Structure 1
Amino acid sequence: MGITSAWSITAHDDDVIASLVPRVQPLIERHRESPEAQRAWQAWCADPLPDHRGWRDLPSGSVRAEAVAAFLRLTSEIPLNELHCRDDCGFHLYDIWEASAEAVPPYVAVFTKDYALSALFHAIGPTRAAQLPGWCGDFLLTSDEVRRTLPAVEEALTFSLRDRVVVQARVWLDYHEDEEPVLDGPLRAWRQAASAGLGLFGANVHIY
């Protein structure tokens, strides 16, 4: 049986964000500071990957194949899965999602045997990805931080018509008709949260 991942971005009042800091922020920082994650990030920044449509043709064990594997590990590590612990500590990620503010519809991308965050980062490349707050899709931001980071997020996720065609071709995800594309949902949530004076919680997790 394969995994199913979800990348969610939910909006919350600042008091909810503050209550999450002791549980969430150490998990994000632990992943950010791990030597393997740092090596993979720096390697990707130094030498971005070729189009994903040629990955299957890379010789097994080659430098390029190993670089692809390192990138996929980097963007599919799931430190926030430790938040699935309701039975042990009265706390669960689903409880956070259910407490999201009604003013901002959540962005949630669910895929079987795949990761929306991996596809987004490959599509936009390391320069744009580095402008997104947090680490590899995980972040916890107050309303003030959402407003302050909005310009960088807009720069990272806004494209000319020509660039949009190129970037979209690098997104390997297959969507249902009613699903919000990974190139659109995060920026929409950021703009709405900034307008509503809300914080944001981003989580790249396995749901089963």
Structure 2
Amino acid sequence: MGFTSAWAISGHPDSFIAELSPRLLPAMEADRRRPGAQDGWKRWQRAPLPDRATWYAPPGTPAIASVHAAVDSFLELTVPGQHVDAVCDGTADPLFYVVDDVWAGQAQEDVFLSVHSKEYAVASFLHAVGPARAALLPGWCGNFLLTSAQVRQYLGAVERALSFGPAERAAADAQDWLSYAPGEERVLDGPLRMWRYAAGNGLGLCGLAVHLY
């Protein structure tokens, strides 16, 4: 069955972040605490996934079963959470729909948006940066809601996580499996751009990974 997912990071005044908090923060926390989520995160932190080219080697390849188990655990970890999904698509709150109430009307510089059919941007992003860098990022698997003060607080850690030397960037790009249209912002670029933009303009940030349909 097909699906389309989106990962967006959008900049907003603190007053709007405060309006979003009662709806989104409980859902984000519920997804963080869902059964198996913390175990999946710890497993990935202990044992980073191998090169993606080895994930789907022919049956009988040595250690392929353990690789499949680790990949399955990682993909389950990084899929959009059901609680954030329910809030963002209006199921849990019919007065709130993320496309209209958070993302609509945003200027291009105020948002990073990555939309893909049958793929998850957060999964590709996290695999490409790896668990050590991912551990520096606030929030949970692409979801976060931060005031302008928190954006500034975390800026240094985010810059350490998402700044690459040439060889490091080439290696990360090789592990990002998403397809991009010409001129489309990559998942390895958009988050850091948004963080610096928000910090420089006194904005908070809302990161949401959701199913659109």
**Structure 1 residue corresponding to 2:112, chosen from 97, 107, 110:** 107
**Contact 1:12/1:99 (8 A) holds in 2:** no
CA–CA distance in structure 1, aligned partners of residues 79 and 108 of structure 2:
29
The Cα offsets for residues 89-118 of structure 1, whole Å up to 9 and x where unpaired, read as: 311111111264x48331000111001110
**Contact 2:7/2:209 (8 A) holds in 1:** yes
Q: Residue 82 of structure 1 aligns with which residue?
A: 86
Whether 2:23 is the aligned partner of 1:23: answer yes
Whether 2:122 is the aligned partner of 1:120: answer no
C-alpha RMSD of matched pairs (Å): 1.9
User: Aligned runs of 1:123-134 on 2, under 5 Å?
Assistant: 123-134=128-139
The secondary structure found in structure 2 opposite 1:5 is strand
Could you tell me how far 1:54 is from its partner in structure 2? 1.2
Q: Which amino acid aligns with 1:98?
A: A
CA–CA distance in structure 1, aligned partners of residues 80 and 110 of structure 2:
25
Q: Residue 202 of structure 1 aligns with which residue?
A: 207
Q: Residue 6 of structure 1 aligns with which residue?
A: 6
Q: Residue 103 of structure 2 aligns with which residue?
A: 97
Q: Which amino acid aligns with 1:91?
A: F
CA–CA distance in structure 2, aligned partners of residues 184 and 169 of structure 1:
14
The secondary structure found in structure 1 opposite 2:142 is coil
**Structure 1 residue corresponding to 2:71, chosen from 48, 68, 71:** 68
CA–CA distance in structure 2, aligned partners of residues 58 and 15 of structure 1:
53
Query: Once structures 1 and 2 are overlaid, which stretch shifts more, 134-143 or 48-57?
Result: 48-57
The Cα offsets for residues 31-88 of structure 1, whole Å up to 9 and x where unpaired, read as: 1122301111000000111011111116498222111001001111333111211896
Q: Give me the identity figure in percent.
A: 46
The secondary structure found in structure 2 opposite 1:2 is coil
> Is the alpha carbon distance of 1:89 and 1:127 closer, same or farther for their aligned partners in structure 2, counting shifts above 3 Å?
same
The secondary structure found in structure 2 opposite 1:159 is coil
Q: Which amino acid aligns with 2:10?
A: T
> Is the alpha carbon distance of 1:136 and 1:58 closer, same or farther for their aligned partners in structure 2, counting shifts above 3 Å?
farther
CA–CA distance in structure 2, aligned partners of residues 77 and 186 of structure 1:
17
Uncovered stretches (5+) of structure 2, i.e. residues with no partner: none
CA–CA distance in structure 1, aligned partners of residues 111 and 90 of structure 2:
22
Q: Which amino acid aligns with 1:120?
A: F
**TM-score normalised by the chain length of structure 1:** 0.93
Could you tell me how far 1:167 is from its partner in structure 2? 1.0
| Structure 1 residue ranges, 4+ long, deviating more than 2 angstroms after superposition | 58-61, 86-89, 102-105
**TM-score normalised by the chain length of structure 2:** 0.91
Uncovered stretches (5+) of structure 1, i.e. residues with no partner: none
> Is the alpha carbon distance of 1:103 and 1:169 closer, same or farther for their aligned partners in structure 2, counting shifts above 3 Å?
closer
User: Aligned runs of 1:116-195 on 2, under 5 Å?
Assistant: 116-195=121-200
Q: Residue 45 of structure 1 aligns with which residue?
A: 45
